[in-house]
Amino acid sequence: MRGDAVKQGNRKLTHLDAAGQPTMVDVAAKPVSVRSALAASRVRFPAAVAEALRGQGMASAKGPVLDTAIIAGTLAVKRTHELIPFCHPLPIDGCKFTLDWLDARTLGIRCQVRSTHRTGVEMEALTGVSVAALTVYDMCKALSHAIVIGPTRLLGKRGGKRDVGEID
């Protein structure tokens, strides 16, 4: 079964060795280059909760929601390798969050990460945006548990073997 999961078409899972065992990818032979990634998530609130948050300047009983989400997301970016087993520790050259209302009930969160290294930063961007969204939920759950997170997805990456999607 594992051997079937290792290869699909011309692609293979990079975190499995030839025997199908989990392994960290050896990036020593890869060239150092500028890598960047952009990930996004959404937090959808019940209408009354969104209205209350806006009326309170996006503050909850726990403090400033957006500022806290940015700080938590940034910390998550820097610690991704501690959370995702096969991620390499990376020097983070840049990390930027944007949080904007997409409509009356939906908060959009974006995380862009940049590093000069041998491996990409997609997981750092996805982890950062996920933790920022979770932080918003945590800070607002006293108002409602009907808050919904998602979708969370990679919008684009640059550097490495191929570029994917778009980055602002």
pLDDT of residue 10: 53
Residues 6+ positions from 38 with CB-CB distance below 8 Å: 110, 111, 112, 125, 154, 155, 156, 157, 165, 166, 167, 168
CA distances (Å), origin 149, targets 34, 89, 101: 30, 27, 14
pLDDT classification of 11: cutoffs 50, 70, 90: low
Across 42-52, b (16+ Cβ under 10 Å) vs e yields bbbbeeebbee
Block residue for tokens 């607002």: 140
Q: Which residues are catalytic?
A: 138
Per-position DSSP letters for 72-102, written without gaps between them: HHHHHHHTHHHHSTTPPP---SEEEEEEEES
- Whole-model pTM? 0.88
DSSP state of 45: -
CATH 3.40.640.10 fits 29-159, yes or no: no
Residues 12-51 pLDDT 10s: 667 777 778 887 888 888 889 999 999 999 999 999 999 9
DSSP state of 13: -
Residues 67-117 pLDDT 10s: 999 999 999 999 999 999 999 999 999 999 999 999 999 999 999 999 999
53 strand-pairing partners = none
CA distances (Å), origin 8, targets 17, 24, 132: 14, 19, 33
Is the pLDDT score of 5 beyond 90?
A: no
Residues 124-140 pLDDT 10s: 999 999 999 999 999 99
Distance CA 142, CA 165 (A): 37
